[in-house]
């Protein structure tokens, strides 16, 4: 079969699908993206680029929609050239958050049209009104309503949509639920597993030389008695970074031998930046009492190094708004980490307090500290929770089980 994937980032959520399909000679796999970085052997990568930026005169509500239309137009024009060369996909699978797939049905009307549906924005009851310090006014509500316009076009026109978790599905309008199939991307439990070393899982980690955050190029985890880990794409309120750093400030007063390893880049991936132009990391370092000799910002890590960090973790803290569930939480659970998660809906779909992890209120750093100390002082009592955490991922989120379900859902023959 001929299969066309579309995503502005490469490979996005489709990495494991691409690797599987490209290994089957009967399939031709094409990936359209505006990102030149990245390569997967056997996958034909097609680069498109928008003809212009969003106009400054465009109404603020509709700038996202205009951006999606420009991206969709660029993808259409680039793939029209491929069509002239004889490429007619049997299946089109596009991420439904941006615009590259908007006009594919017009270009390839006979193809099955599938969408990866990640998030539907609401002014009430999920991420946007979660933080009481950031109230939602009429302006925000109106902008969010229009922000969903691109996604609604996808939902109305697709044959089927896939959504990773039941919580994420609940955010979509009920009228579209019959189109949506819940299936997580999947966690490679053969890779994300506890260390095989009998004595200690704490190995040195080579830090990416180009990391934008000061850190030794070699982090010797074996020299750290207690390790608390935090992982996120960016350092932002959506993933509880301010609350975590306040937790660290308090924790250091109680645990003089505790080290904190923070994996991620100093940016905002979700939500808004600070109005003063500073990053949330910079704000934390300026306002909190912190022992920086025991805080290690690694920047982005390659998977092999990232794995060593979470294998060595004594407590992995995962805080999130009611929003898209991060792969990192499930990856940590798969390695047998003791995950201390926020008591928010996406986390509660996976973690039962005291069974396969621990839960705590997102806005209570003092309570987070108490639970971290509880784990550090009673490691033996936590072993059953660690084992059940891994078993949860094996039972419900194992890539080896979910990948065939995704392929079956796509109706690839």
Token look-up 């080290």 returns 259
Note whether 2-186+399-410 and 204-396 share their fold: yes
pLDDT of residue 177: 98
* Residue 334 and residue 315 in contact, taking contact as beta carbons nearer than 8 Å: no
* Residue 211 and residue 300 in contact, taking contact as beta carbons nearer than 8 Å: yes
CA proximity to 185, closest of 329, 42, 37: 329
Give, in words, the CATH class of 204-396: alpha beta
Cα 391 to the chain's mean position, in Å?
21
Q: Model pTM? A: 0.95
* Segments making up each domain of the chain, as ranges: 2-186+399-410, 204-396
pLDDT of residue 201: 67
pLDDT of residue 198: 46
Q: What is the pLDDT of residues 89-122, one digit of tens each?
A: 999 999 998 999 999 999 999 999 999 999 999 9
Is 2-186+399-410 assigned to CATH 3.40.50.300?
no
Q: What is the pLDDT of residues 313-359, one digit of tens each?
A: 999 999 999 999 999 999 999 999 999 999 999 999 999 999 999 99
Q: What is the pLDDT of residues 125-151, one digit of tens each?
A: 999 999 998 889 999 999 999 999 999
Q: In what order do the strands lie in the sheet with 295-299?
A: 295-299, 258-265, 226-234, 315-318, 339-342, 358-360
Mean pLDDT (whole number) for 49-63: 96
pLDDT of residue 216: 65
Q: What is the pLDDT of residues 6-44, one digit of tens each?
A: 999 999 999 999 999 999 889 999 999 999 999 999 999
Q: Is the pLDDT of residue 211 over 90?
A: no
């Amino acid at each position: 079969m001929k299969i066309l994937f579309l995503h502005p980032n490469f490979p996005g959520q489709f990495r494991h699908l691409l690797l599987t399909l490209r290994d089957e000679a009967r399939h031709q796999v094409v990936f359209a993206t505006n990102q030149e970085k990245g390569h997967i052997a056997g996958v034909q990568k097609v680069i498109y680029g928008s003809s212009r930026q969003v106009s400054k005169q465009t109404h603020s509500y509709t700038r996202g929609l205009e951006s999606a239309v420009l991206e969709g137009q660029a993808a259409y024009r680039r793939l029209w050239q491929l069509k002239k060369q004889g490429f007619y996909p049997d299946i089109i699978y596009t991420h439904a958050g941006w615009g590259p797939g908007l006009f594919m049905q017009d270009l390839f009307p006979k193809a099955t049209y599938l969408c990866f549906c990640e998030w539907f924005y609401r002014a009430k009851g999920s991420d946007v009104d979660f933080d009481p310090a950031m109230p939602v006014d009429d302006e925000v509500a109106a902008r969010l309503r229009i922000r969903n316009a691109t996604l609604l076009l996808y939902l109305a026109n697709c044959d089927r949509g896939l959504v990773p978790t039941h919580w994420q599905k609940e955010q979509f309008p009920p009228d579209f639920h019959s189109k949506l199939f819940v299936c997580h991307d999947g966690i490679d439990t053969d890779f994300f597993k506890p260390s095989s070393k009998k004595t200690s899982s704490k190995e040195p980690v080579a830090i990416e030389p180009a990391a934008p955050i000061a850190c030794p190029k070699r982090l010797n985890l074996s020299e750290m008695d207690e390790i608390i880990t935090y992982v996120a794409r960016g350092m932002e309120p959506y993933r509880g970074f301010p609350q975590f750093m306040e937790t660290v400030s308090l924790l250091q007063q109680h645990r003089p031998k505790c080290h904190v390893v923070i994996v991620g880049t100093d940016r905002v991936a979700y939500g808004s930046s600070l109005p003063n132009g500073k990053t949330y990391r910079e704000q934390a370092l300026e306002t909190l009492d912190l022992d920086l000799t025991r805080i290690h910002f690694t920047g982005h890590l390659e998977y092999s190094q990232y794995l060593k960090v979470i294998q060595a973790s004594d407590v992995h803290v995962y805080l999130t708004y009611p929003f898209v569930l991060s792969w990192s939480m499930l990856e940590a659970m798969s390695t047998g980490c003791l995950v201390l998660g926020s008591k928010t809906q996406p986390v509660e779909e996976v973690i039962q307090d005291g069974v396969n992890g621990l839960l705590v209120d997102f806005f209570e750093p003092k309570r987070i500290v108490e639970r971290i100390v509880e784990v550090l002082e009673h490691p033996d009592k936590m072993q059953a929770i660690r084992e059940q955490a891994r078993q949860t991922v094996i039972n419900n989120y194992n890539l080896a089980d979910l990948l065939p379900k995704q392929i079956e859902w796509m109706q690839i023959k």
